Amino acid sequence: MAKHGLKEPTRLATRDDDSGLYQVIVETPKASRNKFAYDTRERIFCLRKVLPAGMAFPYDFGFLPGTLAEDGDPVDVLLLMDEPAYPGVVVQARLIGVIEGEQIDGKKRVRNDRVLAVAAATHRYAEVKKFTDLPQHFIKELEEFFVNYHRLEGKAYKLLGCHGPMTARKLIDQAAA
């Protein structure tokens, strides 16, 4: 008798073959101070940490299934959409770019890039096709969020640059598990 239950989110396809869109698994909703992460061993979403008062995730944050980034986790995605989602929700999205960065913990340096994507089902960001379609201050605020987020963990985060959807696709192709 076969077991029935939820599908392992990390084993979902990275892309939807019919639409060509990427499948983003939301871990942490927009405006949350709670940082959730999928625990592959326990097969459940867990609370990993709570951000300090006054700091919250600026947009939904998740990952691309079927990928493995240099930091040992699936590729991170910052997802722009009209309303926050919930941990574990799959959102079809198109790539608009990537914030490339390097996490520095003591002498150890690890690439920790964040793909930028827009939910396919959106009104507010429907016209955004690449990160340069967003106001410059918007990108600057995202970069500062990641710098401060790592600083609170006692790590440094060095920004290496922002690039468009083609660079994001190459990053994802290289990280295909």
Q: Which two tokens stand for residue 29?
A: 């909703």
Q: Kindly state whether residue 1 falls inside one of the protein's structural domains.
A: no
Q: Kindly state whether residue 116 falls inside one of the protein's structural domains.
A: yes
The total number of structural domains in the chain stands at 1
Per-run averaged pLDDT (10 residues), the chain, 177 residues: 64 80 97 94 92 93 94 94 96 96 87 96 96 93 90 88 95 89
Q: Kindly state whether residue 121 falls inside one of the protein's structural domains.
A: yes
Give the CATH number of the domain where residue 150 resides: 3.90.80.10
Contacts of 94 (CB under 8 A, 6+ apart): 21, 22, 117, 118, 120, 129, 165
pTM of the model: 0.91
Q: Kindly state whether residue 81 falls inside one of the protein's structural domains.
A: yes
Q: Kindly state whether residue 2 falls inside one of the protein's structural domains.
A: no
Q: Can you give the residue range of the structural domain that contains 37?
A: 10-172
The dihedral through the CA atoms of 139, 144, 150, 152 has a sign that is negative
